[in-house]
């Protein structure tokens, strides 16, 4: 990645949601590439500890702000990545109206900032726009099967609306907007209590508790290491010309939830037996990205094997600080629901 823009100055990049799991890894990558980085976050689900090592970096600036409110940043920006949005089901369901507004109003405010500051824009969308898919694996032209009235709709429909906003701004010639549809991502800095399957199983295993599988365990997921994902986001932001289409970013390796649980069980000595719980509402049965478009347009594909990534993530969770208190405590009972 080239750290300078066309004017020969170092790229100035805003990362909304930059204190979160993926966002903080993206801030790290951009800084190591020589960019100047402005991280905007309201710490709803992000952790200060994720960006604490960057706070004294001369090229890093932290702005505490809720993107549901308009945002003003002086000067030219080269790029805006919008990752602001709680991604874990218990967290985004705890305040569903705020979740929807984060995706809709937040994306609109950041697109307006991109228009004013001349920045290129990348929206972190999600495989959840495919809902419980009837097409497998999921290519980008599959329009999805989302329940627009269910408990996950605040997230899924919010993200769908945000995509529409991005493509409207692109078609209107206002912003060079790009959309990444991110599939399940895992790695260091996931939150221990975020209700997602990888963190759930690892933390149960580390505590010596039984490993809970929700449903039969035959449902499938694809797991992409965060370093692979960040490389894909940067490649999509950089690619010329703008693909003008959403791009799936994820790992096409498909595992059943039972296979994942067995792997974690094998890798963490002392893990308890596997037990079964009820499947959450609207939980997708199969999920696997078709990444042909990313391969062709970006020359990108993930290359970190699940076993290697899990090893690193398990090691990180062994050392991780206790989960910090969140501004909105989840109202729903904890359950794995990726
Ligand atoms: N992790 C995944 O597997 C995954 C999969 C698909 C899509 N995504 C998308 O990627 C992005 C990052 O996900 P993540 O896993 O890092 O989640 P995360 O919850 O760790 O990060 C989201 C960040 O956004 C911040 N945020 C939330 N609402 C905000 C608001 N209104 N104003 C300002 N900041 C706000 C949070 O405090 C947090 O730091 C999200 O947009 C998510 O929808 C993630």
> Which of 15, 19, 20, 110 is the pocket-test mutation for ligand 1 (most atoms within 8 Å of CB)?
20
Residue 133: pLDDT band with limits 50, 70, 90:
confident
- Enumerate the active-site residues: 155
Per residue in 146-158, pLDDT (tens digit) is 999 999 999 999 9
> Could you give the percent of the chain with pLDDT greater than 70?
94
pLDDT of residue 332: 29
Using CA atoms, how far residue 180 sits from 32, 82, 170, 172, 233, in Å, is 22, 10, 14, 20, 7
Residue 331: pLDDT band with limits 50, 70, 90:
very low
Per residue in 275-285, pLDDT (tens digit) is 999 887 767 78
For residue 269, the CA-to-ligand 1 centroid distance in Å is 32
Closest ligand 1 atom to Cα of 190: 20
For residue 7, the CA-to-ligand 1 centroid distance in Å is 31
pLDDT of residue 285: 81
Mean pLDDT (the chain) is 92
Residue 110: pLDDT band with limits 50, 70, 90:
very high
For residue 297, the CA-to-ligand 1 centroid distance in Å is 25
> Which of 52, 69, 84 is the pocket-test mutation for ligand 1 (most atoms within 8 Å of CB)?
84
Residue nearest to atom 35 of ligand 1 (CA): 84
For residue 233, the CA-to-ligand 1 centroid distance in Å is 14
Closest ligand 1 atom to Cα of 155: 43
Domains, the chain, in order of start with CATH, read 12-186+224-249 (3.40.50.720)
For residue 131, the CA-to-ligand 1 centroid distance in Å is 18
Residue 237: pLDDT band with limits 50, 70, 90:
very high
> Which of 14, 17, 23, 107 is the pocket-test mutation for ligand 1 (most atoms within 8 Å of CB)?
17
Q: What's the whole-number mean pLDDT along residues 10-21?
A: 97
Question: Is 90 exceeded by the pLDDT of residue 60?
Answer: yes
pTM of the complete model: 0.93
Question: Is 50 exceeded by the pLDDT of residue 329?
Answer: no
Residue nearest to atom 18 of ligand 1 (CA): 20
Per residue in 256-293, pLDDT (tens digit) is 999 999 999 999 999 999 999 988 776 778 889 999 99
Question: Is 80 exceeded by the pLDDT of residue 333?
Answer: no
Per residue in 313-324, pLDDT (tens digit) is 999 999 985 443
Q: What's the whole-number mean pLDDT along residues 301-310?
A: 98
Question: Is 60 exceeded by the pLDDT of residue 327?
Answer: no
For residue 84, the CA-to-ligand 1 centroid distance in Å is 5
Question: Is 60 exceeded by the pLDDT of residue 75?
Answer: yes
pLDDT of residue 3: 79
Residue 9: pLDDT band with limits 50, 70, 90:
confident
Question: Is 60 exceeded by the pLDDT of residue 296?
Answer: yes
Residue nearest to atom 17 of ligand 1 (CA): 87
Residue nearest to atom 1 of ligand 1 (CA): 185
Ligand 1 first shell, C-beta below 6 A: 17, 19-23, 41-46, 66-68, 83-87, 102, 106, 124, 126, 182, 184-185
């Amino acid at each position: 990645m080239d750290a300078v823009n066309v004017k020969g100055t170092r790229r100035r990049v805003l990362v909304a949601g930059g204190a979160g799991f993926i966002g903080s890894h993206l801030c790290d990558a951009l800084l190591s590439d020589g960019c100047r980085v402005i991280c905007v976050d309201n710490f709803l689900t992000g952790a200060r500890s994720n960006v604490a090592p960057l706070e004294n970096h001369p090229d890093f600036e932290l702005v505490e702000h809720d993107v549901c409110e308009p945002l003003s940043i002086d000067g030219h920006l080269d790029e805006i990545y919008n990752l602001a949005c709680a991604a874990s089901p218990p967290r985004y369901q705890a305040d569903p109206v705020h979740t929807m507004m984060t995706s809709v109003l937040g994306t609109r405010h950041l697109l307006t900032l991109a228009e004013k500051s001349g920045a290129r824009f990348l929206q972190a969308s999600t495989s959840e726009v495919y809902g419980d898919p009837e097409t497998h694996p999921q290519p980008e032209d599959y329009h999805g099967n989302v329940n627009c009235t269910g408990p996950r709709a605040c997230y899924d429909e919010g993200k769908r609306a945000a995509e529409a906003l991005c493509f409207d701004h692109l078609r209107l010639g206002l912003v060079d907007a790009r959309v990444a549809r991110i599939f399940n991502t895992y790695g260091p800095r996931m939150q221990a209590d975020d209700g997602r399957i990888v963190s759930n199983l690892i933390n149960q295993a580390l505590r010596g508790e039984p490993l809970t599988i929700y449903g039969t365990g035959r449902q499938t997921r694809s797991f992409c290491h965060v370093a692979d994902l960040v490389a894909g986001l940067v490649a999509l932001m950089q690619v010329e010309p703008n693909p003008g289409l959403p791009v799936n970013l994820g790992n096409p390796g498909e595992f059943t939830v039972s296979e994942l649980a067995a792997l974690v069980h094998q890798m963490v000595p002392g893990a308890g037996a596997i037990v079964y719980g009820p499947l959450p509402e609207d939980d997708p049965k199969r999920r696997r990205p078709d990444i042909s478009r990313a391969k062709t347009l970006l020359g990108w594909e993930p290359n970190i094997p699940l076993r290697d990534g899990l090893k690193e993530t398990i090691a990180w969770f062994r050392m991780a600080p206790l989960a910090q208190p969140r501004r909105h405590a989840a109202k729903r009972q904890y359950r794995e629901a990726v």
